[in-house]
Structure 1
Amino acid sequence: MPDWNKDYKPGPYPVTQKERDAAAKKYGLLPAEYEPYPDDGLGYGDYPKLPAISGDDKDPYYPWDFPEHKRNFNEPIHVHADMYGEDRYNVSFRPRFSLLYMWTCFLGVVGGFFAVYYFMEDKKMFRPVVPKQYYRPGVVHYTFEPAE
């Protein structure tokens, strides 16, 4: 890969305190703030475990270095940053109504339509029509004579 930069790849999982301090310095964090992802085989290495903050949660009036991403220069990004942008999933979203209320409304509307269908099924409502009037010799369907 011609554009590959070795600094983009996280280093090996830090085992000693010295390695943890070096990794914290590498990512611009204080050693007390630095916490790596667990070494569970996913390959995150020494990358810091950052809190999940969505783009909607960040201040829109802050003078960001990259305002289109609400990010400053040299700021480490979350491992799943592609999922937490302004046009993506919002981790702090609180719905206006509770889940119980939403289900109650949904089932009430569906149940209401079903009840109307069930109780009105035997009461057919339609526009009454008569058989089609075709021309036949000797049959008069209408005249222009005054009614008697």
Structure 2
Amino acid sequence: MVTIPLLFKRSLHTTVFRGRGAVAHPGWFPRDHMPGNYPKTEEERRAAAIRYGLRPEDYTPYPPEDLKNHIGDYPDAGIVTAEHRDPYDYYSDFHQRRNWNEPVMRQAMRYRVERCTFTGLRDDLHTPMASISLLSQLLLPIVIFFMVMLYNGETARKVRDWCFVRWFNAKFPKQYPYDFMRAFPNQDPRDYPILNYSFEPAEGGKNNVEEDNARHPFNETSR
């Protein structure tokens, strides 16, 4: 019974009207995680260290001269991946081996747990050339295989005969109701009908071929 009033109190919190949600404290919204300006004074340096949960003597931001890594007052946490940490320690997030409110290194997306790690394989690079190389390694063999198998029928037949496996159904020539080639270009194709099959019952168990040829003089079987 105690949880019901708490549920209503949390749902009808006054911070909803201020656009802050039921839990209003620093670090809740993404805008609170945005790095600030580079600290220029000792007071700004101490404030930035406290903001990121570090001791002032351990806080070292990237210098503005480092155009590749400089991101304001964000600290240089070094390259410390999950593989570097004790697997038997107690963490807030056991999968990532991280604790709550712990600063994340800038290269965290390159050394993710579910991908490449520092002590396992190489880091997960996202450079254009690395992406093009990876796509080429994956797609080119597939494209070459399908081009050879689909556009070279002789090779496909050789592979089929060698493997004794038929992975496609045999195709017969297409059947058309009229001889369009004879009617081309100015005649009516309906004047040249072709009998491919008939649903008429056979007399004596056999079809009357002469009658069919007389009715359909342009039948392909009579050529």
- Detail structure 1 runs of 4+ shifted over 2 Å in the superposition: 40-43, 85-94
Provide the TM-score with structure 1 as the length reference. Answer: 0.55
Q: What do residues 59-109 of structure 1 show as CA deviations (whole Å, max 9, x unaligned)?
A: 111111111111100001101111122233433469xxxxxxxxxxxxxxx
Q: Following the alignment from structure 1 to structure 2, what is the Cα–Cα distance between the partners of residues 89 and 54?
A: 10
Equivalent position to 2:50, from 5, 19, 25: 25
Partner letter of residue 37 of structure 1? Answer: Y
The aligned residue for residue 69 of structure 1 is: 96
Cα distance between partner residues in 2 of 1:54 and 1:88: 12
**Given the alignment, which residue of 63, 81, 84 partners 2:108?**
81
Contact kept, 8 Å, 2:81 with 2:118, in 1: the verdict is: yes
Q: Could you say which residue in structure 2 is the equivalent of 1:6?
A: 31
Amino acid of the residue matched to residue 80 of structure 2?
I
| 1:54 and 1:89 in contact (8 A); partners too | no
Q: Unaligned 5+ residue runs, structure 2? A: 1-27, 122-223
1:37 alignment partner, one of 56, 62, 80 = 62
Secondary structure of 2:58's counterpart equals: coil
**d(CA) in 1 for partners of 2:61 and 2:83?**
25
Alpha-carbon separation, structure 2, partners of 1:63 and 1:14: 33
| SS of residue in 1 equivalent to 2:83 | helix
SS at 1:82's partner residue?
Answer: coil
**Distance across 2 between alignment mates of 1:23 and 1:60:** 30
What are the superposed Cα offsets for residues 28-64 of structure 1, whole Å, 9 maximum, x if unpaired? 1111000001113455100000120122111111111
Higher relative contact order (CA 8 A, sep 6+): 1
Q: How many residues in Structure 1 have an aligned counterpart in Structure 2?
A: 93
Percent sequence identity over aligned pairs: 37
1:48 and 2:75 aligned: yes
Report which of the two structures shows the higher radius of gyration computed on alpha carbons: 2
TM-score by length of 2: 0.38
Counterpart residue identity of residue 48, structure 1: P
The structure where helix makes up a greater share of residues is 2
Counterpart of 1:134 in structure 2 is none
